[in-house]
Amino acid sequence: MQYRKSKNAFLIRLMKGEEIISSLTKFLTAQKISSAYFSGIGAVQKATLGFYNLKKKKYIWRKFSECEVVSLIGNVSLLNGKPFIHAHLVISDNKYSCYGGHLKDAVIGATLEIVLKKLSGKAERKFDREIGLNLLDL
């Protein structure tokens, strides 16, 4: 990973072979960031995306490989005192078909370029029984 700081924002480049969620979580921990939002573009070797089934209160996961990252968008909050990333990813295959969903994990192909904006204060998550997810507790 490479990054450059500019006031309350960071320009981040993830390298080939890095995993998005774990790499960003490590970065957020080191920088002591507890509230932020981010977006990115690039390419992934593989990714697992999910669709949340509200009735069953569980994700339906699907794996993809060798895709362009059309859009990565997400936010950062705290869960149990540690940085928590909630991200969605839109990818396209070699036929220009797009797929999107909740990002479980993804490994970088060529690169991933992210702009992350740090927010003031902190945001925390709390489990919501009705929904079945850890939601922002504002």
pLDDT tens string 61-101: 999 999 999 999 999 999 999 999 999 999 999 999 999 99
Distance spanning both ends of the chain, measured CA to CA: 32
Element (H, E) at 72: strand 58-79
Question: Residue 73 maps to which CATH number?
Answer: 3.30.1330.80
Q: What is the mean pLDDT of residues 5-13?
A: 96
Q: Mean pLDDT across the chain, nearest whole number?
A: 97
Q: Is the pLDDT of residue 118 over 90?
A: yes
Per the document, the length of the chain is 138
User: What range does the domain containing 65 cover?
Assistant: 2-136
Closest by CA position to 69, among listed 130, 104, 35, 110: 110
Specify the number of domains making up the chain: 1
- In this predicted structure, the answer to whether residue 31 has a pLDDT above a threshold of 90 is yes
- Return d(Cα 16, Cα 5) in angstroms, integer: 21
**Stated pTM of the model:** 0.94
Distances (CA, A) of 115 to 34, 48, 71, 107: 16, 22, 12, 18
Q: Is the pLDDT of residue 138 over 90?
A: no
At 15, the pLDDT band (50, 70, 90 cuts) reads very high
